[in-house]
């Protein structure tokens, strides 16, 4: 018998309860449920009853409820148990909160029986350098194509996970459908039902806790209006859909590792967006990354056209091209392209709960959102099944042409020198290895591109199958199409927003602040290939010593040593100035672990800390310093164990708060107390030495009030270290708070308008416009006539008088560091800063505060990305880091967030200095 897989009144329990208790006056309104009255997921489907449905395993119809993380695992295991010849379920990792990350592999019996063979065939196909003659053709002829379906990287996009359950069920249970049979024969479908279980659980917990009599479609209902920080992000409040190439989060690192093991030819990253939207599939909007190939774009379009055909058939609406650009390589729909897959994003309007009321009054049911994502997934698999050899051939060609281009193009290799920062160079090398890029560590010194490099330097040949990824990650700039950039300049000059979806700069050497030297000849060196999990171990040079140990400051390894040593209770000092001992120059900030003040097993404890942190420690047997402060000098600051608090929760900017916490806790192993912002006004803050104020999402002024501002001020006066990050600094500078003497600037006047104004004989003084408007208030309501000669004159005339600068999508800007300040000890003289938005501050007079880092000169300031001409001129020389001593404490403002996505490794040290040297400076002042 053909049974249609349909859904009746889904929330049966809720629905019938409602019927029993609803008062008569509400009878006119139909009860609201998770599902439209009947959903036919796949026209004419006939299902094998031996394959368990979601209802049978989890107790609700698919689409009637949001499956929890453990239910997702349970359902995949039940499917696997029912059809072990056609489905396997594996774990691939664990979330921060300890939830299992699982995936299912679904295919024909024949394919499931040879999964290892398929994986090794794909690994061969992926590396043309190791393929024998005819091997590629044989693989393409005999192997299925791997299709990758990634769901719910954002935990508050609920339908996508339940669609994964339905997709898996349909592929296994469907009977008598030749399309499904062909999908299983020709493809291996890898389904990751839930990439972000921690975020999803947070989302569902709130939704379930707030539910009442029936699901509430109002956007204001507590079940749909998520409390801070929302379920989109993972535990550390990261948007993991930006973390693909940096892989700071374990969930993403595991996902990327898995993908490199399987080498899919098609990847769909499945998302949800606002409830009023329909469904988005490719083509994606401009701008596109120049390293995408036309084959990839046409493959994605081939799939999208089948998506469209199915959507037409079942009566679903969609759109494409208008949003979601393909420029940034860190999306789930971006990164797989650079491995040779054809990758795309799907976006369904979200019910963000069981039901949503759209602005046109109609209801969007959860089951509707499940259906469209399920149809899109299956229709994508159908295209690959029907074009298996095309997709495999294109994948093989992608990898082969990458190698060929790497051999042919001018840039043939990159060298990452081990000096000046061995730790950061290693971190870059490992990050590249985690991207499936071959990186070799030279075992001896070598010459390349006209230079000499020390042993331990890293070489990345461009002649690799991942050449396009290598270029987009290591080149300083990835070019955005000139026509697109020009159009954006025009838009923003008219006060319209730009059409750029994410940052325009992500060069890893710039973000890590290590050089990567591009060479015009391929460089062959002997040495190990860097493994994805390689961690260079630190060392102690010299014999165990009673004097103590020195750790040169300037690398993040030495900062990890510091945090670990403080937590281990070792007496650590930090030099305010550079010094020379035993012929070695130690930069300012270098650490001294005093052997005279410690127990007898110091040597083994220091060795252990060096190993774990990666620091290079020197044992001191003779304390005679030949230049600079001696080890007993008052310029050797005692480093206390600071108690660090981070302002958390509404109105904190959630990412800024999460990223700061992650950097401190997980990259530097140092615990942080999260204080909810609403507590700041009345809390006794004396239990903390350092308070970090992340960017603000709402208004700190409104939340803290005058009482909160006074509380912070008094605490600083008593010796606290207060650190503002990004827009958190804006609060510290705000009128009425004024903990920092910073003032935000209005936009600069456009150069062109100034010039032409002068030529036309009009005054170019900014005040002229102001006096015009003052005259407008006169009784006759007329203003002086103004001739507009050029477009620039017009722009100037139409421009608001005191507008903020234009927002910037995200660029890397250079900043120069003042040495001789305690905050910049050991910090590189030039930094790269990720600048977004439009906070530009006026220069600060040096008797008001210390500007310890400022943006570089106009011709130097832009390191990478798309920066509006006017902003480039305005940003130059303006403050990046400002410090002001207040009472016994200090206030430090970073005008741009140094912890952005935890990508800005090159800014770690100045942030660590702010906390630990800040605490030391105020401790020292307070104990004098
Ligand atoms: Zn999403």
Tell me the pLDDT tens digit for each residue of 453-508: 999 999 999 999 999 999 999 999 999 999 999 999 999 888 889 999 899 999 99
Q: Is 87 helix (H, G, I), strand (E, B) or coil?
A: strand
CA of 628 to the centre of ligand 1 (A): 55
Nearest 10 degrees: CA dihedral of 509, 515, 521, 522?
Answer: -60
Q: What is the mean pLDDT of residues 713-737?
A: 97
- Tokens 């690959």 correspond to 384
Beta bridge partners of 644: 690
CA of 273 to the centre of ligand 1 (A): 7
CA of 59 to the centre of ligand 1 (A): 27
CA of 197 to the centre of ligand 1 (A): 14
Q: What is the pLDDT of residue 273?
A: 97
CA of 424 to the centre of ligand 1 (A): 31
CA of 405 to the centre of ligand 1 (A): 34
CA of 823 to the centre of ligand 1 (A): 39
**Alpha carbon distance 467, 438 (integer Å):** 10
**Alpha carbon distance 555, 239 (integer Å):** 27
CA of 64 to the centre of ligand 1 (A): 21
CA of 518 to the centre of ligand 1 (A): 36
Tokens for 11, please give them.
């929330």
Beta bridge partners of 363: 357
CA of 289 to the centre of ligand 1 (A): 20
CA of 632 to the centre of ligand 1 (A): 56
Percent of the chain with pLDDT over 90: 85
CA of 346 to the centre of ligand 1 (A): 9
CA of 271 to the centre of ligand 1 (A): 4
CA of 192 to the centre of ligand 1 (A): 15
Say yes or no to pLDDT of 762 above 80. Answer: no
Establish whether the linkage from the previous residue to 729 is cis, with ω within 30° of 0: no
CA of 812 to the centre of ligand 1 (A): 25
CA of 729 to the centre of ligand 1 (A): 29
CA of 348 to the centre of ligand 1 (A): 9
CA of 219 to the centre of ligand 1 (A): 18
Per-residue exposure over 659-672, b if at least 16 CB sit within 10 Å of its own CB, e if not:
bbbbbbeebbebeb
Higher pLDDT, 38 or 238: 238
The answer to whether 10 and 34 have CB atoms below 8 angstroms apart is yes
CA of 508 to the centre of ligand 1 (A): 24
CA of 324 to the centre of ligand 1 (A): 11
Arithmetic mean of pLDDT over the chain: 92
Per-residue exposure over 369-394, b if at least 16 CB sit within 10 Å of its own CB, e if not:
bbbbbbbbbbbbbbbbbbbbebbbbb
CA of 394 to the centre of ligand 1 (A): 28
Say yes or no to pLDDT of 34 above 50. Answer: yes
Percent of the chain with pLDDT over 70: 93
CA of 780 to the centre of ligand 1 (A): 56
CA of 272 to the centre of ligand 1 (A): 5
CA of 278 to the centre of ligand 1 (A): 14
CA of 349 to the centre of ligand 1 (A): 10
Q: What is the mean pLDDT of residues 763-775?
A: 44
CA of 69 to the centre of ligand 1 (A): 17
CA of 743 to the centre of ligand 1 (A): 36
**Alpha carbon distance 735, 303 (integer Å):** 55
CA of 834 to the centre of ligand 1 (A): 23
Length of the chain: 928
The separation between CA 264 and the C-alpha centre of its own chain, rounded to angstroms, equals 23
CA of 350 to the centre of ligand 1 (A): 10
Q: Is 148 helix (H, G, I), strand (E, B) or coil?
A: strand
Q: How many CB atoms lie within 10 A of CB 578?
A: 19
CA of 370 to the centre of ligand 1 (A): 15
CA of 239 to the centre of ligand 1 (A): 9
CA of 63 to the centre of ligand 1 (A): 19
Long-range CB pairs of 495-498, under 8 A, 24+ apart, other chains included: 495/799, 495/800, 495/803, 497/807, 498/807, 498/809
CA of 224 to the centre of ligand 1 (A): 16
Say yes or no to pLDDT of 362 above 50. Answer: yes
CA of 332 to the centre of ligand 1 (A): 10
What are the DSSP calls for 218-241, one per residue? -TTSTTTSPPTT-SSS-TT---GG
CA of 639 to the centre of ligand 1 (A): 43
Per-residue pLDDT band at 37 (split at 50, 70, 90)? low
CA of 212 to the centre of ligand 1 (A): 27
**Alpha carbon distance 505, 826 (integer Å):** 26
Strand order through the sheet with 279-280: 87-94, 100-106, 187-192, 145-151, 266-273, 342-349, 279-280
Say yes or no to pLDDT of 890 above 50. Answer: yes
CA of 892 to the centre of ligand 1 (A): 35
CA of 259 to the centre of ligand 1 (A): 19
CA of 277 to the centre of ligand 1 (A): 13
CA of 809 to the centre of ligand 1 (A): 19
CA of 382 to the centre of ligand 1 (A): 24
Per-residue pLDDT band at 646 (split at 50, 70, 90)? very high
CA of 152 to the centre of ligand 1 (A): 7
Say yes or no to pLDDT of 20 above 70. Answer: no
Say yes or no to pLDDT of 872 above 70. Answer: yes
Say yes or no to pLDDT of 371 above 90. Answer: yes
CA of 676 to the centre of ligand 1 (A): 27
Q: What is the pLDDT of residue 778?
A: 56
- Residue 555 DSSP symbol: S
Higher pLDDT, 16 or 690: 690
Q: Rounded to the nearest 5°, which phi and psi values hold at 667?
A: -95, -25
Lowest mean pLDDT segment, chosen from 51-55, 84-88, 320-324, 550-554: 320-324
**Alpha carbon distance 152, 102 (integer Å):** 12
**Alpha carbon distance 898, 835 (integer Å):** 10
**Alpha carbon distance 319, 340 (integer Å):** 26
Find the helix packing angle between 294-314 and 388-408, rounded to 10°: 150
CA of 155 to the centre of ligand 1 (A): 8
CA of 165 to the centre of ligand 1 (A): 18
Say yes or no to pLDDT of 1 above 90. Answer: no
Say yes or no to pLDDT of 771 above 70. Answer: no
**Residues 372, 378, 380: CA angle, nearest 5 degrees:** 100
CA of 726 to the centre of ligand 1 (A): 25
CA of 156 to the centre of ligand 1 (A): 8
**Alpha carbon distance 342, 300 (integer Å):** 6
CA of 151 to the centre of ligand 1 (A): 9
CA of 70 to the centre of ligand 1 (A): 21
CA of 133 to the centre of ligand 1 (A): 43
Using only C-alpha atoms, the chain has a radius of gyration, in whole angstroms, of 30
CA of 262 to the centre of ligand 1 (A): 23
CA of 299 to the centre of ligand 1 (A): 23
Per-residue pLDDT band at 292 (split at 50, 70, 90)? very high
Beta strand pairing status for 879-886 and 889-894? antiparallel
């Amino acid at each position: 018998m053909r049974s249609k897989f349909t859904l009746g009144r889904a929330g049966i329990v809720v629905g019938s309860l409602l019927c029993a208790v609803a008062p008569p006056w509400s009878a006119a309104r139909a009860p609201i449920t998770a599902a439209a009255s009947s959903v036919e997921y796949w026209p004419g489907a006939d299902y094998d009853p031996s394959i368990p449905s979601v209802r049978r395993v989890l107790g609700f119809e698919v689409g009637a409820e949001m499956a929890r993380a453990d239910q997702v695992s349970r359902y995949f295991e039940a499917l696997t148990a029912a059809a072990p010849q056609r489905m396997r379920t594996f774990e691939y990792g664990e979330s921060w909160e300890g939830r299992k990350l699982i995936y299912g592999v679904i295919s024909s019996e024949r394919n499931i029986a040879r999964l290892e063979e398929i994986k090794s065939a794909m690994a061969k196909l992926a590396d043309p350098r190791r393929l024998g003659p005819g091997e590629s053709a044989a693989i393409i002829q005999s192997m299925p194509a791997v299709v990758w379906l990634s769901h719910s990287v954002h935990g508050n996009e609920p339908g996508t996970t339940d669609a994964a359950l339905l997709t898996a069920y349909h592929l296994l249970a469907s009977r008598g459908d030749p399309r499904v049979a062909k999908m299983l024969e020709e493809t291996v479908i890898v389904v990751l039902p839930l990439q972000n279980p921690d975020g999803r659980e947070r989302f569902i917990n709130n939704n379930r806790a707030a539910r009442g009599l029936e699901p509430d479609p109002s956007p204001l209902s507590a079940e749909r209006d998520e409390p801070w920080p929302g379920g989109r992000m993972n535990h550390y409040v990261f948007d993991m859909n930006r973390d693909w190439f940096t892989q700071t989060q374990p969930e993403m690192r595991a996902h990327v590792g898995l993908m490199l093991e399987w080498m899919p030819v098609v990847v769909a990253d499945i998302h949800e967006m606002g409830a009023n939207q329909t469904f988005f599939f490719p083509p994606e909007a401009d701008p596109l990354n120049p390293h995408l190939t036309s084959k990839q774009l046409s493959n994605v379009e081939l799939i999208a056209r089948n998506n469209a055909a199915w959507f037409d058939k079942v009566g679903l609406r969609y759109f494409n091209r208008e949003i979601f650009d393909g420029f940034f390589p860190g999306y789930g729909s971006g990164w797989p392209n650079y491995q040779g897959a054809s990758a795309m994003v799907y976006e369904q309007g979200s019910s963000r709960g069981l039901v949503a009321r759209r602005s046109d009054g109609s209801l969007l049911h959860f089951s509707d959102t499940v259906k469209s994502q399920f149809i899109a997934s299956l229709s994508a698999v159908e295209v690959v099944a029907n074009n298996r050899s095309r997709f495999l051939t294109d994948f093989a060609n992608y990898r082969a042409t990458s190698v060929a281009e790497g051999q042919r193009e001018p840039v043939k290799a990159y060298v990452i020198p081990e000096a000046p920062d061995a730790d950061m160079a290693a971190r870059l090398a490992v990050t590249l290895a985690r991207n499936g890029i071959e990186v070799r560590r030279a075992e001896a010194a070598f010459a390349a591109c006209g230079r000499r490099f020390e042993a331990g330097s890293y070489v990345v040949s461009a002649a690799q199958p991942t050449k396009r990824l290598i270029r987009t990650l290591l080149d300083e700039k990835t070019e955005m199409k000139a026509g697109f950039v020009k159009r954006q300049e025009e838009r923003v000059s008219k006060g319209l927003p730009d059409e750029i979806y994410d940052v325009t700069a992500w060069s890893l050497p710039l973000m890590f602040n290590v050089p990567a030297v591009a060479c015009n000849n391929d460089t062959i060196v002997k040495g190990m290939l860097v493994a994805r999990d390689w961690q260079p171990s630190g060392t102690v040079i010299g014999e165990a010593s009673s004097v103590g140990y020195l750790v040169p400051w300037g690398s993040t390894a030495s900062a990890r040593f510091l945090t670990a040593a403080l937590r281990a209770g070792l007496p650590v000092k930090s030099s305010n100035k550079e010094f020379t001992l035993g012929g070695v120059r130690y930069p300012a900030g270098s650490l001294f672990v005093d052997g005279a003040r410690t127990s007898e097993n110091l040597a083994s404890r220091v060795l252990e800390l060096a190993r774990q942190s990666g620091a290079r420690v020197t044992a001191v047997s003779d304390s005679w310093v030949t230049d600079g402060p001696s080890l007993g000098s008052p310029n050797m600051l005692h480093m206390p164990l600071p108690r660090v608090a981070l302002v958390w929760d509404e109105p904190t900017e959630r990412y800024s708060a999460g990223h700061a916490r992650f950097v401190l806790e997980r990259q530097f192993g140092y615990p942080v107390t999260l204080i909810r912002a609403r507590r700041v006004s009345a809390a006794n803050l004396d239990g903390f030495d350092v308070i970090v104020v992340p960017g603000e999402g709402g208004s700190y002024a409104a939340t803290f009030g005058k009482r909160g501002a006074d509380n912070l001020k008094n605490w600083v006066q008593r010796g606290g270290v207060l650190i503002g990050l990004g827009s958190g600094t804006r609060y510290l500078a705000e009128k009425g708070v004024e903990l920092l003497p910073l003032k935000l600037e209005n936009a600069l006047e456009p150069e062109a308008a100034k010039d032409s104004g002068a030529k036309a004989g009009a005054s170019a003084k900014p005040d002229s416009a102001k006096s015009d408007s003052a005259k407008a208030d006169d009784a006759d309501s007329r203003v002086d006539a103004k001739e507009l000669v050029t477009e620039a004159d017009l722009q100037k005339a139409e421009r608001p008088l005191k507008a903020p600068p234009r927002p910037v999508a995200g660029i890397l800007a250079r900043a120069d560091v003042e040495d001789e300040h305690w905050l910049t000890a050991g910090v590189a003289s030039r930094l790269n800063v990720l600048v977004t938005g439009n906070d530009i501050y006026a220069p600060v007079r040096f008797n008001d505060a210390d500007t310890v880092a400022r943006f570089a000169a106009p011709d130097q300031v832009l390191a990478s990305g798309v920066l509006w001409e006017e902003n480039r001129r305005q940003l130059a020389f303006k403050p990046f880091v400002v410090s002001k001593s207040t009472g016994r404490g200090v206030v430090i403002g970073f005008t741009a967030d140094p912890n952005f996505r935890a990508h800005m490794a090159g800014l770690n040290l100045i942030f660590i200095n702010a906390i630990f040297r800040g605490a030391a400076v105020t401790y020292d002042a307070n104990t004098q």
